[in-house]
Chain A
């Protein structure tokens, strides 16, 4: 909310410099910043009387004027089309500097020296109006400083109000806060002294007011004003409205907006000509059409509160008036509405219609039900002062009195929650300064009733917060609590994520963080079928419309992006949630996925798929370290195979027989869709499943007492034999075979066409005795025999 210092000063003498004022308000919870400081910006800008206007000797479009600016008549060159003799104008004298940074000097314009400038509103920084000079009230004296006459030297603040403080959405509300923190008394501004003191007559002749929906409209007032002459508002009013971000319209509508900015209570002016019969506050009929002031037509839902007459809707209660009954240039008689509309109901209407206004914004946050009349009086006064109106009858329908409940503050409770020493006297002082009515009971309990504008005060804790605000958060001493103890088993998943991430980083992978929402085309193209995806109803970007069911699409996008930037070798991983629909609800799983490019290997041509095995090794390391168990990499059955991976270059990742993930090489056609034209291998595993399979801490075993022996053996097999099966056979040949590690794979000319050689280093050990060479020979013999039977393997010569 924009706040004018000069306007605020009309309501309170706080004696604070603008920066101190901002600081005080901020310390109360009204975050306030100075946005514009115009003090001293209008030196040497004075009132001038245009004495004569004549042609410029060297130019047709500009003219020479003589202006009385308080001393000797000045010659001023002026290009404005509307300049005329006899006008009272704003003159920037030589030496003036204007808010737009312009400095006035004596200078020649097309050969004629100009002693200053006649200003437009834009040049004075008052509005965007630059088509002509600003014409002032003739009552102003030549040579008078403009700033004091037009209150130009204002300071503007931006007050960032939290949604609970609807009461501060007006100058009066801020003045109340300033009063509470400074102890200064708010004052009644001069305008109000001129408000007719006798209350207006009760009732408007010829107009009934009936509130049918008291839930939506606990209070409705109507005030009759007749004989207005619609015209622009005086400069001062327009300037204040503009400074606060509201476009001036005319002296009637401006009065309602001005009163709203001042009190926080929105108002609406109807042209009486268009009200047929009585004013009725009622719920709309289903499908009832209504056209707002700005010409938009809405089909209303049943029950949306409407201000209507006997025939039609006149205004969407608390939101916006209708096109059919607003103030027109020839309007003379006004019915001025000031009301209290229910916050929740107003908000519901505004949200459903997608129509948010200054008015609905304030009603949603709760206006002061007791301030309704004041707001009406202020607007009425302005209409009589500035539009020549005459105040008539007044109707105040208040079917549902808004009564703040008394709230109890237990003795010592505030101090206990805040951690400060507070005596009841202090508590009473603070609450009283904020307008609470308080009783101090014999039991030490304070019973406080909030002022009518404080809708946010509902319970004891609210009173404590008020006390804390005035006591000052800076006066609460810092202490350290003794924290309750917990058991580390509660923290499994987060710790496991960090462990897995660290292992991947140490394996050369860079962590990526992608959005959780993806383009469904990415998923479809990959043929990801695991689970129905969760769709988003609203989105930031039309394409990213569903929650990811896998981390792979995002990583492929990231890979593709970086390849386009000229990267060549990439290893990326991501950890995060994936989502799917499950039994009518959304289910989440926490996953880690890794992806790396396959060196410089040409797609389609790789025989060995070395990077597949490199990644397999990384995955094995990670699972072994994080789950304390050796993973298996089983082949997946046909229907479990991933469509976006090569049919033969994919395996599951399992722990103790439970599958926790998969890995493989991305199919070239899938990669192609992502504009990736080199080999890519990836894995994805469920951290939740990994966590569930973590083994117990190991129990130490004794170190073997007898040395073992090492043997190397190279087998020649068909090039389509799988090493996994051969290793399994070898390990099964004798219980004393403790390790079998492949160290060479060769399929060149030396072993013959269609064959390959696999070389293994074996380690044998007997727990009971030292093994002999003969033991070794025997084991090798049984290995060779089995390998020959099962795999047709022969010892490489």
Chain B
């Protein structure tokens, strides 16, 4: 079996392995592995023959054998990586996967549209620096009316049909304005407050609900002007309705402010061109406002000669009806899932 010149044989084997073709797949790779590295493979055979090599040629033969082994093993390793990579790419390329199956995370619920609008408005005013304050829904006549400059037996009380309670000297508050008094009594001046909450009036039809939501806002400070009120509300409608929204002030009457105003916003549905919702006027009445009446400041323990302020109040349902195109206020309180799911 022993060759006459082992070195020659090694040289010839080296030549052979250096020009081996790169295996294309696992089958060729296995064949290559068996042919050279297997128990009876060429590399194994020559290494077994090393013991017959004369001592003088041993170093060279050893070096050659190592070179051959490295070459074959390197080839096998590179081929393994390459073949595996090709297989993975091929599998990924050809797989079937149904990405259209529905997601499996639990579904979200939703906030009530009234809460959503209320929070949005509160956020706008919070961002300007107003602090959020709440007040009780069962109120005394003193806070709901008298301290707000509604004298007893004043016809202005007819503007707000009141729910009275039995066996207790309270009513359900008809507006969020009592928070003005409560906050001033609690914190004094200066103060900037936004007060969201439920209010009640004994009235029910398509546009009136016996329970609804208001937001009251007011600022008490030195040198507050009606111009500040206009500027603040203009900034609000821009944030809420967009850059093009404009406001219009019309003189009106609320006992706790003077001068008092109704505030209209340019109709957001028709771009002030005139439509069914704005009754072709181009304007939508959205809030009442004015300068805090000196009697209100006095009633809340704030000196009207040192301090002044403005206040405004708006009805959330009205804004939500406009925003979402809801035409019957009762939908908000029926809690029909077919309605709630839309928000």
Interfacial residues, chain A to chain B (CB-CB below 8 A): 26-29, 31, 162-166, 343-344, 347-348, 351, 364-365, 416-420, 459-462, 464-465, 468-469, 473-474, 476-481, 483-486, 488, 490-491, 493-495, 498, 501-502, 504-517, 534-541, 547, 558, 561-562, 565, 567, 570-573, 576-577, 579, 581, 584-586, 588
Distance in angstroms between the alpha carbons of A507 and B41 in the assembled complex: 66
Q: List 11 A-B contacts (CB under 8 A).
A: A162-B253, A420-B227, A486-B131, A490-B133, A505-B108, A508-B107, A515-B211, A576-B198, A577-B198, A585-B168, A586-B138
B190 at the interface (CB under 8 A from A): yes
Contact: B333 with A163, CB < 8 Å?
no
Give the residues in chain B near A512, CB-CB below 8 Å.
112, 335, 340
Distance in angstroms between the alpha carbons of A507 and B111 in the assembled complex: 12
Contact: B137 with A584, CB < 8 Å?
no
Distance in angstroms between the alpha carbons of A508 and B333 in the assembled complex: 20
Distance in angstroms between the alpha carbons of A515 and B213 in the assembled complex: 11
Q: Which residue of A lies closest to B210 (CB)?
A: A540
Contact: A505 with B227, CB < 8 Å?
no
Give the residues in chain B near A584, CB-CB below 8 Å.
168
Contact: A540 with B107, CB < 8 Å?
no
B134 at the interface (CB under 8 A from A): yes
B146 at the interface (CB under 8 A from A): no
B255 → chain A closest CB, angstroms: 8
Give the residues in chain A near B224, CB-CB below 8 Å.
481
B144 → chain A closest CB, angstroms: 13
A687 → chain B closest CB, angstroms: 11
Give the residues in chain B near A162, CB-CB below 8 Å.
252-253
Contact: B335 with A347, CB < 8 Å?
no
Distance in angstroms between the alpha carbons of A479 and B226 in the assembled complex: 9
B141 at the interface (CB under 8 A from A): no
Q: Which residue of B lies closest to A30 (CB)?
A: B251
A762 → chain B closest CB, angstroms: 28
B325 at the interface (CB under 8 A from A): no
Give the residues in chain A near B54, CB-CB below 8 Å.
none
Contact: A416 with B223, CB < 8 Å?
yes
Within 8 A of A (CB), among B279-312: 291, 293-294, 308
Given A419-B226, A481-B228, A588-B136, A511-B221 contact (CB < 8 Å):
no
Distance in angstroms between the alpha carbons of A562 and B340 in the assembled complex: 11
Contact: B253 with A511, CB < 8 Å?
no
B332 at the interface (CB under 8 A from A): yes
Distance in angstroms between the alpha carbons of A420 and B249 in the assembled complex: 15
Listed residue (A465, A504, A539) with the most chain B CB atoms within 10 angstroms of its CB:
A465
B251: which of A465, A534, A547, A577 is its contact (CB, 8 Å)? A465
Distance in angstroms between the alpha carbons of A517 and B166 in the assembled complex: 13
B234 at the interface (CB under 8 A from A): yes
Contact: B260 with A465, CB < 8 Å?
yes
Distance in angstroms between the alpha carbons of A163 and B133 in the assembled complex: 30
Distance in angstroms between the alpha carbons of A104 and B249 in the assembled complex: 46
Distance in angstroms between the alpha carbons of A534 and B139 in the assembled complex: 13
Q: Which residue of B lies closest to A364 (CB)?
A: B155
Closest 3 CB pairs between A and B?
A: A419-B227, A419-B225, A29-B251
Q: Which residue of A lies closest to B162 (CB)?
A: A538
Q: Which residue of B lies closest to A479 (CB)?
A: B227
Distance in angstroms between the alpha carbons of A505 and B294 in the assembled complex: 44
Q: Which residue of B lies closest to A481 (CB)?
A: B228
Contact: B338 with A565, CB < 8 Å?
yes
B261: which of A348, A473, A485, A490 is its contact (CB, 8 Å)? A473
Contact: B164 with A347, CB < 8 Å?
no
Q: Which residue of A lies closest to B193 (CB)?
A: A486
Give the residues in chain B near A478, CB-CB below 8 Å.
227, 230-231, 234
Q: Which residue of A lies closest to B253 (CB)?
A: A162
Given A476-B230, A508-B109, A485-B168 contact (CB < 8 Å):
no
Given A476-B226, A508-B108, A509-B109, A535-B251 contact (CB < 8 Å):
no
Give the residues in chain B near A163, CB-CB below 8 Å.
154-156, 158-159, 253
Bitwise interface map of B from 97 to 116 toward A, beta carbon under 8 Å scored 1, else 0: 00000000011111110110
Give the residues in chain B near A468, CB-CB below 8 Å.
226, 251, 259
B183 → chain A closest CB, angstroms: 9
Contact: B211 with A561, CB < 8 Å?
no
A495: which of B108, B132, B164, B338 is its contact (CB, 8 Å)? B132
New A-B contacts (17) at CB < 8 Å, excluding given A365-B155, A416-B225: A163-B156, A164-B253, A343-B153, A418-B225, A461-B258, A484-B129, A495-B132, A505-B108, A505-B111, A513-B333, A516-B198, A535-B165, A537-B163, A537-B165, A561-B335, A577-B137, A581-B167
A481: which of B107, B110, B219, B291 is its contact (CB, 8 Å)? B219
Distance in angstroms between the alpha carbons of A28 and B231 in the assembled complex: 21
Contact: A27 with B251, CB < 8 Å?
yes
- Range of interface residues on chain B? 35 or more
A513: which of B231, B291, B335 is its contact (CB, 8 Å)? B335
Contact: B163 with A562, CB < 8 Å?
no
Distance in angstroms between the alpha carbons of A472 and B336 in the assembled complex: 46
B143 → chain A closest CB, angstroms: 13
Distance in angstroms between the alpha carbons of A796 and B107 in the assembled complex: 37
B232 at the interface (CB under 8 A from A): yes
Bitwise interface map of B from 116 to 132 toward A, beta carbon under 8 Å scored 1, else 0: 00010010000011111
Listed residue (B128, B210, B211, B227) with the most chain A CB atoms within 10 angstroms of its CB:
B227
Contact: A459 with B294, CB < 8 Å?
yes
B45 at the interface (CB under 8 A from A): no
Bitwise interface map of B from 149 to 186 toward A, beta carbon under 8 Å scored 1, else 0: 00111111011000111111010100000000000000
Distance in angstroms between the alpha carbons of A657 and B198 in the assembled complex: 32
Give the residues in chain B near A567, CB-CB below 8 Å.
337
Give the residues in chain A near B154, CB-CB below 8 Å.
163, 344
Give the residues in chain A near B130, CB-CB below 8 Å.
483
Given A479-B227, A515-B211, A494-B122 contact (CB < 8 Å):
yes
Contact: B258 with A511, CB < 8 Å?
no
Give the residues in chain B near A534, CB-CB below 8 Å.
138, 165-168, 170
B232 → chain A closest CB, angstroms: 7
Give the residues in chain B near A586, CB-CB below 8 Å.
138, 165, 168, 170
B252: which of A31, A474, A477, A585 is its contact (CB, 8 Å)? A31
Contact: A536 with B226, CB < 8 Å?
no
Contact: A570 with B337, CB < 8 Å?
yes
Q: Which residue of B lies closest to A165 (CB)?
A: B253
Distance in angstroms between the alpha carbons of A609 and B262 in the assembled complex: 56
Q: Which residue of B lies closest to A495 (CB)?
A: B132
Contact: A494 with B134, CB < 8 Å?
yes
Contact: A516 with B260, CB < 8 Å?
no
B250: which of A26, A510, A572 is its contact (CB, 8 Å)? A26
B235 at the interface (CB under 8 A from A): yes
Distance in angstroms between the alpha carbons of A464 and B101 in the assembled complex: 69
Q: Which residue of B lies closest to A558 (CB)?
A: B335
Given A515-B211, A561-B336, A586-B138, A491-B227 contact (CB < 8 Å):
no
Listed residue (A561, A572, A584, A586) with the most chain B CB atoms within 10 angstroms of its CB:
A586
Distance in angstroms between the alpha carbons of A481 and B108 in the assembled complex: 40
B68 at the interface (CB under 8 A from A): no
A418: which of B138, B221, B226, B334 is its contact (CB, 8 Å)? B226
Bitwise interface map of B from 176 to 216 toward A, beta carbon under 8 Å scored 1, else 0: 00000000000100111000101010111000001100000
Distance in angstroms between the alpha carbons of A573 and B115 in the assembled complex: 12
Bitwise interface map of B from 302 to 343 toward A, beta carbon under 8 Å scored 1, else 0: 000000100000000000000000000000111111101100
A497 → chain B closest CB, angstroms: 9
Contact: A507 with B165, CB < 8 Å?
no
Distance in angstroms between the alpha carbons of A567 and B111 in the assembled complex: 19
Q: Which residue of B lies closest to A535 (CB)?
A: B166
Contact: B251 with A474, CB < 8 Å?
no
Contact: A480 with B235, CB < 8 Å?
yes
Give the residues in chain B near A474, CB-CB below 8 Å.
248-249
Contact: A479 with B225, CB < 8 Å?
yes
Distance in angstroms between the alpha carbons of A586 and B163 in the assembled complex: 14
Distance in angstroms between the alpha carbons of A576 and B165 in the assembled complex: 19
Bitwise interface map of B from 262 to 290 toward A, beta carbon under 8 Å scored 1, else 0: 10000000000000000000000000000
Distance in angstroms between the alpha carbons of A510 and B108 in the assembled complex: 8
Distance in angstroms between the alpha carbons of A537 and B202 in the assembled complex: 11
